[in-house]
Amino acid sequence: MSSQTRVELRKDLFADERDDNLNEIGRPTARQDILGHVTGRSPFFDDHQFDGLLHMRCVRSPHHHARIRRIDIAAAERMPGVRRIILGRDVPHNLNTLLSLIDFGRDDEPLLATGKVSYVGEAVAAVIAETERQARDAVAAVRVDWEVLPHVLDPEEALAPGAPIVNETWPRNVFEYHDKYTHQKLRFGDVERAFARPDVEIVEGRYQMSPIEQAPTETCGAIAAPETNGRYVCHTSTQALFFSLGTTAKLLDMPSSRLHFIGGTVGGGFGGKVDSLHEPLAVLGAILTGAPVKYIWDRAEEMQVGAPRGAERWYLKDAVTRDGRIVARRFRGYFDCGAYTRLSSYAVQKATGHLPGPYTIENVSSDVYCVFTNRTPATAMRGFGITGVDFAIECHMDKVAERVGLDPIELRILNAYRDGDMKAHRRLAKNTALIECCQVAAEKAGWPIRPEFAAMSSLTGGGGDRAAIPETVTDEEGRVDGTPAARPAPRPAAPAPAPAPATASTSARPAAPATRPAAPPATPPAAPPVAPPVSAPAPAAAPAERPQERPAQKPYQPQEPFTRGVKKPGAHRFSSLSGTRRR
């Protein structure tokens, strides 16, 4: 591959902004860890071996949405090698949201589901056994009595009246921003006035990104083991050591000082190793059994249970003058975050701050929704919050270029943001380099652009009038009053189709959309999404699990914690400090 790859450093560009005479910076120094990686000797979390290691596997929902009437673990508990079966009631603080660590959002996700499940693959019990085989067999022997509930999988259908409530913490099926709106707004100038101008072309489009898998070579996992001093060591594949440590401390209601997390060498992450699902369960398993416990996903779980890069759907509308200047751009975006928030709420704001892309446009408006559906929760992936909307923006730019008869690269250079321009989020642009990237890429590809475009620069031509904040039209569309019960009653016989904005491929030529047609034109979603508060499934307040009679399976109580099993003789007879097996 390297013979096909050519890399050049364009030191001629921005040379006066750099000191290129440094000792170590800028050198192609070989990686400190490369020899270990290429010889297979770098220790990953799963290379830490423990005598008496137990294996954890989860019982998972086969349904998109179902109430749990009863979980019967009696047969599974008696199976060979089974040491413990953990249920939601054993988790001391069984409700969390990842970003509570930065005080954003509401706790909305259990570690192990209790009242109901909201996606296929959601865990309801964790079996710990002496071998992985035994754990798998016992998982198959756990009987769950399900009551299947109606589900919703399309984000716009989830916003329609009468849609099933996916997550009772968010009864409108959306993350509520600022406790005020069903979505995050961006308002800059007045797009509607620009759309009405007689001298502009209108270009509209609908774009969608399906979920994809981060696909690390090493699947997500953790090994936890009791230390001799009331602490627990956890070897983990996490991308964020203290995120996982903090989440574990919260869910297990224990001080961080009792947790010793070790990681740092990871077999690929790409965003899929932030969710911190493995560490709390593995540590809880170590607490409850007094033995080292490994919890790792197999490939099928990694792909279908593990959070993907979530789907996004975007509607764009541009007003462009016939000489190619985009004067207004409106977005409506839907992030399909699946059954729980994880990090999608954050991605919506990140996307909003990114709009309208790297262009200076005098009127910009955006409404972006973080929508709950009955699918695997979404999470971060390389380019999180940006990749999907960049796909929409840059496909749209191609259509705009065609409409006004301008070269696609010249259209980008013409509209590119430059130093000193006001951005739609109301901060001045600085340190920009889009124009130069366009010019260099065109040059490399042998794609001719006209001299006046080849001569433009990010350093000049910005600011001035382009630094102004325009008079801005705001609105209160999508207002929530903070009390879900006070929502308007559902409209009777509401049609199933979502309230999608009217849209279509607006290309003048008959280029057929090759995929499913855009949602049929419908009334614009002026009304906030409403769902009936009563007819939908009851909230998770009525778990129907049968009380367990077996004394061995009392729910775990953190009030008398951290001693059970720790001093069990013979359970582990070597230090886990180094993590490697000693005999």
Partner 1 sequence: MARHKGRGFAAINYPIGMNLGGDPSQALVHSNPDGKFMVSLSSIDLGQGMKSVTRQIAAETLGVPVEDVYVDTADSDTGPHCMGSFASRGTHRVGNAVIAAAQEARAVLLEAAAEELEVSAADLETDGRGNIHVKGAPGRSITTAAASLAAQFKQGRTVSGRGIFLIPFAGVDPETGEMTPVSCFAHAALVVDIEVDDETGEIEVAKLSSAYEVGRALNPKLVEQQLVGGAWMGMSHAAWETTEPYYPDRGHGPEDFNQYLMPGPGDIAPHDIAILERPAPDGPYGGKGPGEMCANPVLPALANAVYDAVGVRIDELPVTPEKILRGIQANGGARPKGRR
Q: Is 274 in the site for partner 1 (CB under 8 A)?
A: yes
Q: Find the shortest distance in angstroms from Cβ 564 to partner 1.
A: 23
* Residue of 50, 207, 340, 369 that binds partner 1 (CB under 8 A): 207
Phi, psi values for residue 216, rounded to 5°: -70, 150
Q: Which stretch binds partner 1 (CB under 8 A): 278-286, 378-386, 527-535, 541-549?
A: 378-386
Site for partner 1 in 533-562 (CB under 8 A): none
* Residue of 386, 454, 494, 522 that binds partner 1 (CB under 8 A): 386
Q: Find the shortest distance in angstroms from Cβ 495 to partner 1.
A: 18
Of the candidates 142, 100, 94, 97, the residue with the CA atom closest to the CA atom of residue 114? 94
Local structure of residue 45 (DSSP, 8 states): G
Q: How far apart are CA 254 and CA 569, in angstroms?
A: 24
Q: Find the shortest distance in angstroms from Cβ 552 to partner 1.
A: 32
* Residue of 130, 190, 195, 265 that binds partner 1 (CB under 8 A): 265
Of the candidates 268, 217, 186, the residue with the CA atom closest to the CA atom of residue 475? 186
The tokens describing 199, both together, are: 């001298």
Please say which residue, 85 or 186, places its beta carbon nearer to partner 1: 186
Q: How far apart are CA 192 and CA 12, in angstroms?
A: 43
Q: How far apart are CA 191 and CA 319, in angstroms?
A: 8
Site for partner 1 in 93-112 (CB under 8 A): 102
Phi, psi values for residue 525, rounded to 5°: -75, 60
* Residue of 69, 89, 136, 187 that binds partner 1 (CB under 8 A): 187
CA angle 184, 518, 119 (to 5 degrees): 60
* Residue of 52, 267, 461, 558 that binds partner 1 (CB under 8 A): 267
Q: Which stretch binds partner 1 (CB under 8 A): 54-62, 288-296, 383-391, 480-488?
A: 383-391
Site for partner 1 in 352-371 (CB under 8 A): 352-354, 357-358, 366
Q: Which stretch binds partner 1 (CB under 8 A): 83-91, 126-134, 514-522, 562-570?
A: 514-522
Q: Is the dihedral of CA 541, 486, 149, 138 positive or negative?
A: negative
Amino acid at 157: E
Q: Find the shortest distance in angstroms from Cβ 383 to partner 1.
A: 5
Q: Is 206 in the site for partner 1 (CB under 8 A)?
A: yes
Please say which residue, 70 or 425, places its beta carbon nearer to partner 1: 425
Q: Find the shortest distance in angstroms from Cβ 29 to partner 1.
A: 6
Q: Which stretch binds partner 1 (CB under 8 A): 86-94, 176-184, 195-203, 279-287?
A: 176-184
For 52-93, strand residue ranges (E) read 54-60, 66-72, 82-87
For 303-372, strand residue ranges (E) read 312-321, 326-336, 364-371
Q: Which stretch binds partner 1 (CB under 8 A): 76-84, 125-133, 425-433, 535-543?
A: 425-433
Q: Find the shortest distance in angstroms from Cβ 63 to partner 1.
A: 11
Please say which residue, 10 or 583, places its beta carbon nearer to partner 1: 10
CB atoms within 10 A of CB 344: 27
Helices 344-354 and 387-404 sit at what angle, rounded to 10 degrees?
A: 30
Q: Find the shortest distance in angstroms from Cβ 18 to partner 1.
A: 5
Q: Say which residues have a Cβ less than 8 Å from residue 351's Cβ, sequence separation at least 6.
A: 333, 335, 368, 385, 386, 388, 389
Of the candidates 503, 506, 494, 541, the residue with the CA atom closest to the CA atom of residue 524? 503
Q: Find the shortest distance in angstroms from Cβ 431 to partner 1.
A: 6
Site for partner 1 in 12-51 (CB under 8 A): 13-14, 17-18, 22-33, 37
Site for partner 1 in 483-512 (CB under 8 A): 505, 507, 509-512
Q: What number of CA atoms fall less than 13 Å from residue 487's CA on the CB side?
A: 24
Q: Is 259 in the site for partner 1 (CB under 8 A)?
A: yes
Q: Find the shortest distance in angstroms from Cβ 557 to partner 1.
A: 26
Q: How far apart are CA 512 and CA 370, in angstroms?
A: 30
Q: Which stretch binds partner 1 (CB under 8 A): 79-87, 110-118, 131-139, 297-305?
A: 297-305
